[in-house]
């Protein structure tokens, strides 16, 4: 059964956002790292991976996907069968942005975009399909 297991938020103040989710919702820090022009801090409530992302510049291509300022950047949906869901995405008007691999590693996760009609006025990059458990 598919379920949302990852949400990434673009934030402007990593420390303030971290404290908010820790103090209000009880999330705990799991990992902080740098990748492709941003710092990502992952927190969890034991079920969902919440990534807080601060970009080096609002001009970064990934940052521009959601516009200026804080925003929901993308979300991930856990599925059992990457290939089967990739086929369903395409047959329902979506686009595969990165191909699924047979490996169970994070690099094997396909990234997909829903049809334009599903994302009007919303984040431009939708979800990545993953098997990873948090």
User: Is the model's pLDDT at 127 over the cut of 60?
Assistant: no
- Has residue 101 got a pLDDT over 80? no
List, in sequence order, the alpha helices (H) in 26-126.
61-64, 82-91, 116-119
Percent of the chain scored above 70 by pLDDT? 73
* Residue 91 confidence (pLDDT) above 80: yes
Beta bridge partners of 10: 53, 71
Q: What is the pTM (predicted TM-score) of this model?
A: 0.74
36 phi-psi bin (left φ>0, alpha ψ -120 to 50, beta other) = left
Q: Would the pLDDT of 125 be above 90?
A: no
Cβ(114)–Cβ(131) below 8 Å: no
Lookup: tokens for 120: 């009007």
List of residues 6+ apart from 99 with CB closer than 8 A: 86, 110
pLDDT band of 126, cuts 50, 70, 90: very low
Distance CA 131, CA 133 (A): 6
Q: What is the pLDDT of residue 100?
A: 61
Among 7-16, 62-71, 122-131, top mean pLDDT goes to 7-16
SS3 14: helix
Instruction: Tell whether the model's pLDDT for residue 119 goes beyond 60.
Output: no
Homologous superfamily, domain 3-130? 2,3-Dihydroxybiphenyl 1,2-Dioxygenase, domain 1 (3.10.180.10)
Tell whether the model's pLDDT for residue 95 goes beyond 60: yes
Phi/psi at 17 (nearest 5 deg)?
-65, -40
Q: pLDDT-derived band of residue 108, with 50, 70 and 90 as boundaries?
A: low
The residue assigned the tokens 């079920």 is 47
């Amino acid at each position: 059964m598919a379920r949302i297991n990852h949400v990434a938020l673009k934030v402007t103040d990593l420390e303030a956002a971290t404290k908010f989710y820790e103090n209000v919702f009880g999330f705990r820090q799991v990992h902080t790292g740098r990748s492709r022009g941003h710092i990502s801090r992952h927190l969890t409530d034991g079920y969902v991976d919440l990534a807080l992302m601060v970009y080096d510049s609002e001009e970064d291509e990934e940052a521009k996907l959601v516009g200026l300022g804080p925003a929901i950047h993308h979300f991930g949906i856990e599925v059992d069968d990457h290939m089967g869901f990739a086929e369903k995405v395409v047959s329902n008007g979506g686009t595969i942005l990165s191909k699924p691999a047979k490996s169970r590693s994070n690099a094997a996760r396909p990234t997909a975009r829903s049809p334009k009609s599903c994302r009007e006025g919303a984040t431009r990059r939708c979800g990545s399909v993953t098997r990873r458990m948090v």
